[in-house]
A and B are shown apart, each in its own frame.
Chain A
């Protein structure tokens, strides 16, 4: 991965260890690195809640031929572009993140409640998620 070249094209980014932190143009960046370098697996997308409705997404790319990892990090607010047209495995990751963090991915038609029941309120892995939901049996108000 040629960092200089990358920085010349996408100016608004910085390097932190082996992690590239970008501010926008997620889809463009991912398609650029997959087209110009040998990254051919999107191992996973890691989501972190940063509070204030912001979510950090870390795209973990891997190159089989060079045995090299690349992390691309972006902080989004509620909505971002889907990369399912580049990596089909992102269907699964994005759906999971939608379910647990509430981040919407435009362009992914498969977004639905995955682990949580269809009518579940809130997104459990967010830090502002309230756990004492009245619908849970052990939090039932009427019981007391």
Chain B
């Protein structure tokens, strides 16, 4: 009897590939023999675009790199320009940015929690997490006029002064209780445990070798959080969540714990902002903005791993070369190792637990 392999083309239109990822799988029954991720269905040429746009023209587009956590990418671009021109941010601007970044991180993790459970076949948590995410998005809408592409950070500061702080207060009052609720329905659910415990084991060496960063790495027991050395987070007191589980469950738990920690950071920022003086910032004039010749790079801990931006300037209006590094791209690359030997239904859960989204992969 000859065993023939079944070649399955998972995606690009598939309910659980979080966008338009295409995985070319070779199956023996339901067991995966090899996996070849194929990306690029959402490529918008972000890097090529940058070479033809002035910095201020480019700024509104960078939110689109990760539409679930757009703040992080505007922050990166702003940070590079500020670094290049030696602009120091006032404390209040820093607090505002930290607060919005962390709110954005929570929104992103909430969406992940819902969609991960959706991948596992539980539909309800999706609606519960979206309910809380909605509160955050409503706040962003009130403040910036946009629900996902905020374009709120500008070179040297923020677009306008912070407002509606009572909404943020309400969010961080409610959120920990709601996270408790999710944990009640999810964390110790026997079926959930069976689907996630000891599934998709990502040991420390593999994770580092595949350049996995962010929560996925910390759930494998590596203490690496780029927020620790970040000038923006200076003065904020927070814990780095490191779990030693290495499996899907640890990655889930780490995100849940990170949401609580983000609440804590927001709380500190909020306490400061409540008593802070009115905003005085010296914005960089975006017209005719030129960076001095040289290489610049900046990095930030985004929800999906390390995000960094590299700019080489030749002194012109546009960057000579701009490069984005996104965490998701490396998570997708990891799939070719992590999915081999797993069954198809575990594969979906493992891929879901890595938390990648395709706009970030394709740039």
Choose among A46, A58, A89, A116 the residue that contacts B333 (Cβ–Cβ < 8 A). Answer: A89
Question: Which of A43, A67, A96, A115 has the most C-beta atoms of chain B within 10 angstroms of its own C-beta?
Answer: A115
Residue B330 CB within 8 A of the other chain: yes
Within 8 A of A (CB), among B34-78: 36, 39-40, 43, 45, 47-48, 51
Q: Evaluate contact between B229 and A115: CB separation under 8 angstroms.
A: no
**Measured CA separation A40–B207 after assembly (Å):** 10
A-contacting 9-mer, from B82-90, B111-119, B304-312: B304-312
Query: Given A46-B310, A48-B321, are A114 and B39 also a contact pair (CB < 8 Å)?
Result: yes
Q: Which residues of A contact B337 (CB under 8 A)?
A: 88
Query: Given A43-B306, A64-B222, are A114 and B40 also a contact pair (CB < 8 Å)?
Result: yes
**Measured CA separation A110–B36 after assembly (Å):** 9
Residue B147 CB within 8 A of the other chain: no
Count of chain A residues with a beta carbon within 8 Å of a chain B beta carbon:
26
**Measured CA separation A94–B39 after assembly (Å):** 14
Interface string of A70-112 (1 = CB under 8 A from B): 0000000000000000011101100010001000000000100
Query: Given A46-B310, A114-B39, A115-B362, are A40 and B333 also a contact pair (CB < 8 Å)?
Result: no
Q: Evaluate contact between B333 and A92: CB separation under 8 angstroms.
A: yes
Choose among B39, B211, B222, B332 the residue that contacts A42 (Cβ–Cβ < 8 A). Answer: B211
Q: Which residues of A contact B211 (CB under 8 A)?
A: 41-44, 87, 89
Q: Evaluate contact between B40 and A116: CB separation under 8 angstroms.
A: yes
Choose among A58, A64, A124 the residue that contacts B224 (Cβ–Cβ < 8 A). Answer: A64
The bracket for how many chain B residues form the interface is: 20 to 34
Q: Which residues of B contact A96 (CB under 8 A)?
A: 329
Query: Given A64-B224, A89-B333, are A48 and B209 also a contact pair (CB < 8 Å)?
Result: no
Query: Given A114-B39, A115-B43, A116-B40, are A89 and B48 also a contact pair (CB < 8 Å)?
Result: no
Query: Given A43-B306, A46-B310, are A89 and B40 also a contact pair (CB < 8 Å)?
Result: no
Question: Which of A41, A43, A46 has the most C-beta atoms of chain B within 10 angstroms of its own C-beta?
Answer: A41
**Measured CA separation A41–B363 after assembly (Å):** 22
Instruction: Kindly provide the distance from the CB of A139 to the nearest chain B CB, expressed in whole angstroms.
Output: 15
Q: Evaluate contact between B310 and A89: CB separation under 8 angstroms.
A: no
Q: Evaluate contact between B229 and A67: CB separation under 8 angstroms.
A: yes
**Measured CA separation A44–B51 after assembly (Å):** 20
Q: Evaluate contact between B209 and A87: CB separation under 8 angstroms.
A: yes
Q: Which residues of B contact A124 (CB under 8 A)?
A: 45, 48
Residue B210 CB within 8 A of the other chain: yes
Interface residues of chain B, those whose CB is within 8 Å of chain A, are: 36, 39-40, 43, 45, 47-48, 51, 206, 208-211, 213, 222-224, 229, 306, 308, 310, 312, 320-321, 323, 325, 329-330, 332-333, 336-337, 362-363
For this complex, 7 residue pairs linking A to B, each with C-beta atoms less than 8 Å apart, are: A46-B310, A64-B208, A88-B333, A91-B333, A115-B39, A115-B43, A125-B47
Interface residues of chain A, those whose CB is within 8 Å of chain B, are: 40-44, 46-49, 58, 64, 67, 87-89, 91-92, 96, 100, 110, 113-116, 124-125
Extra inter-chain contacts (10) besides given A87-B211, A91-B336, CB under 8 Å: A43-B306, A43-B308, A43-B325, A44-B325, A46-B321, A64-B223, A89-B333, A115-B40, A115-B45, A124-B45
For the complex of A and B, the 4 pairs showing the least CB-CB separation, nearest first, are A89-B211, A115-B43, A92-B333, A115-B40
